[in-house]
Amino acid sequence: MKEKIKTISKYVMNIMAFINAILVGLAPIWGWNLDKVTDTLVVLGGLIGAYLVSGKIFGEKNDYHEIIDDEEDEDYEEYE
């Protein structure tokens, strides 16, 4: 389930970035004032990006953490 949420989040973030690029490009041509809309899309993209990165920083163990944990266990056994 967690991987599905991450995949959906990535797609949503890409769609929002695409929409934001279109709005930023068309706003000056058509004379639209969309500053608040584009700012909101940037903030939402930042929140989704922070969610996606936070799992890599705080929650998920990867190979690097497992190597460090193994080395710490070996060192602990040596000093006993």
* Residue-wise pLDDT tens digits, 19-50: 999 999 999 999 989 899 999 999 999 988 88
Q: Is the pLDDT of residue 77 over 60?
A: no
Number of domains in the chain: 1
pLDDT value of position 19? 92
pLDDT confidence tier of residue 73, bands split at 50, 70 and 90? low
- CB of 48 closer than 8 Å to CB of 9: yes
Apex CA 39: angle with CA 57 and CA 51, to 5°? 15
Mean pLDDT for the stretch of residues 67-80: 52
Looking at residue 31, what DSSP letter applies? Answer: T
Domain extent, residue 34, equals: 2-79
Mean pLDDT for the stretch of residues 54-68: 58
Cα–Cα distance list, 63 to 5, 60, 66, 67 (Å): 22, 10, 5, 6
